[in-house]
């Protein structure tokens, strides 16, 4: 099966994760893709491939060398973001993109003046959505590329060391590394295939936390509410208004952090706000968390009871803090990217990957570009040409480490 057919097959499987479910995987439908990947790995000769009870898929291509070659790995995640519809994905192929406006459906279009990622794919064959769902290039592009890499190694064998394969659930809700089996995955380092523009090698990411803020109001009939009612929804509005206005993702870029309000719900008696907190700089990251705590203290003092409660949970940290002590995985990837005729480029991820968590767990994991763009929404697309180049980069990494 060629790379494109793999990708089109994978994106049609609904694998959205659910942040409100505590089990792993958070949605059983993620295992539908997991079962397919195990089947395909076994057919490709990865005889030890399996999926564990939590939906993680593993495989090992054993060394075929008499030399002691460093074991490495490749990782991608199977779930897609809950931020946009993910069922009934209907991908469409655009041949030889001409650089113009792409009409997704009757009401939605992508204009390169606004969606500037399109400037990187002029002349490429693209896979786009029909405007009704996300595509799932994040991260089924990475999944398809790793599977294509395995197929190449099967059909055209060359000398290599142990190559570990891992596909994770629930990355989009910050839990992809929670139950990753490092007892099986014995690579010295690995790469997550979860980036965007081809040639990218990313080794900086946000420090990340989630915040859940709960509000308890006092309900009474609105006809008799004067000086008695405290509306929990109004408390939530007030709380949000007291956070720094420009710590909003709509006003940030580059290394600037943000507090992103991701979900709201409520009634007169009870309301809840969910946020994600992000910053590359640990000092600024901690200040943002302190801002939440200060607003809670102020409001509880103002209202004279525990009207507001807060739970902040750290999700992952900036992998640079670990990788800066040994940049050899990054340098190896840069050399591989150069060798296949591309220009390596590095930028800080305005997000995170499973690799961030795994790096702090003892498995250094920089991130590679996959050729997917505009993640988490209806304007998501992938370049088939860049996806093919991503496979070339992976193969070249394996050949370089084998030397």
Where b means 16+ CB within 10 Å and e means fewer, 277-296 reads bbbbeeeebeebbebbeebb
Q: Do 289 and 281 touch, CB atoms closer than 8 A?
A: no
The SS3 of residue 352 is: coil
| The one catalytic residue among 145, 162, 170, 171 | 171
End-to-end CA distance of the chain: 29
Q: Which residue, chain included where needed, has tokens 């295992």?
A: 31
For 400, the enclosing helix (H) or strand (E) is: helix 384-402
Helix ranges, 304-352 (H): 320-323, 328-339
Work out the widest C-alpha separation in the chain, in whole angstroms: 84
- Distance CA(347)–CA(382), nearest Å, equals 20
Give catalytic status of residue 171 as yes or no: yes
Sign, CA torsion 18/24/28/29: positive
- Distance CA(5)–CA(7), nearest Å, equals 5
- Distance CA(362)–CA(364), nearest Å, equals 6
Would you state the structure tokens that stand for residue 114, as one six-digit string?
């606004």
The SS3 of residue 102 is: strand
The SS3 of residue 104 is: coil
Helix ranges, 340-383 (H): 354-360
User: Quick one: how far is CA 73 from the chain centroid?
Assistant: 18
Q: What is the DSSP letter of 161?
A: -
Give catalytic status of residue 151 as yes or no: no
Q: Do 135 and 89 touch, CB atoms closer than 8 A?
A: yes
- Distance CA(150)–CA(147), nearest Å, equals 5
Sign, CA torsion 360/363/366/370: negative
Would you state the structure tokens that stand for residue 95, as one six-digit string?
């041949």
Catalytic residues: 79, 171
């Amino acid at each position: 099966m060629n790379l494109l057919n793999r990708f089109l097959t994978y994106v049609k499987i609904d694998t959205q994760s659910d942040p409100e479910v505590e089990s792993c995987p958070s949605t059983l439908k993620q295992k539908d893709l997991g079962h397919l990947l195990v089947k395909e790995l076994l057919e490709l000769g990865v005889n030890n491939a399996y999926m564990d009870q939590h939906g993680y898929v593993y495989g090992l291509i054993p060394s075929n060398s008499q030399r002691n070659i460093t074991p490495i790995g490749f990782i991608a995640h199977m779930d897609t973001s809950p931020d946009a519809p993910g069922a009934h994905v209907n991908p469409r192929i655009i041949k030889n993109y001409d650089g113009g406006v792409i009409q997704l459906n009757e009401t939605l279009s992508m204009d390169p003046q606004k969606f500037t990622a399109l400037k990187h794919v002029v002349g490429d064959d693209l896979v786009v959505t029909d405007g009704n769902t996300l595509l799932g290039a994040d991260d089924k592009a990475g999944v398809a590329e790793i599977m294509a890499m395995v197929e190449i190694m099967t059909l055209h064998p060359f000398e290599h060391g142990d190559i570990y394969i891992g596909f994770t659930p629930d990355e989009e809700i910050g839990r992809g590394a929670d139950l990753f089996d490092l007892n099986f995955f014995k690579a010295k380092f690995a790469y997550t295939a979860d980036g965007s523009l081809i040639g990218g090698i990313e080794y900086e990411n946000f420090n990340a936390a989630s915040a859940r803020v709960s509000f308890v109001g006092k309900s009474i009939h609105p006809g008799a509410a004067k000086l008695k009612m405290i509306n929990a929804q109004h408390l939530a509005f007030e709380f949000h208004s007291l956070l720094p206005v420009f710590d909003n993702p709509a006003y940030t870029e580059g290394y600037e952090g943000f507090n992103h309000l991701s979900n709201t719900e409520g009634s007169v008696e009870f309301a809840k706000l969910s946020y994600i907190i992000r910053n590359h700089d640990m000092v600024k990251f901690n200040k943002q968390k302190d801002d939440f705590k200060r607003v809670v203290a102020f409001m509880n003092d103002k209202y004279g009871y525990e009207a507001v409660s807060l739970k902040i949970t750290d999700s992952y940290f900036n992998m640079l803090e670990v990788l800066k002590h040994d940049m050899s995985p990054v340098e190896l990837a840069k050399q591989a990217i150069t060798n296949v005729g591309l220009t390596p480029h590095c930028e800080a991820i305005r997000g995170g990957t499973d690799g961030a968590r795994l790096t702090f767990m003892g498995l250094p994991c920089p991130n590679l570009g996959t050729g997917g763009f505009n993640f988490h929404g209806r304007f998501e697309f992938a370049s088939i040409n860049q996806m093919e180049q991503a496979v070339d980069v992976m193969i070249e990494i394996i050949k370089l480490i084998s030397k």
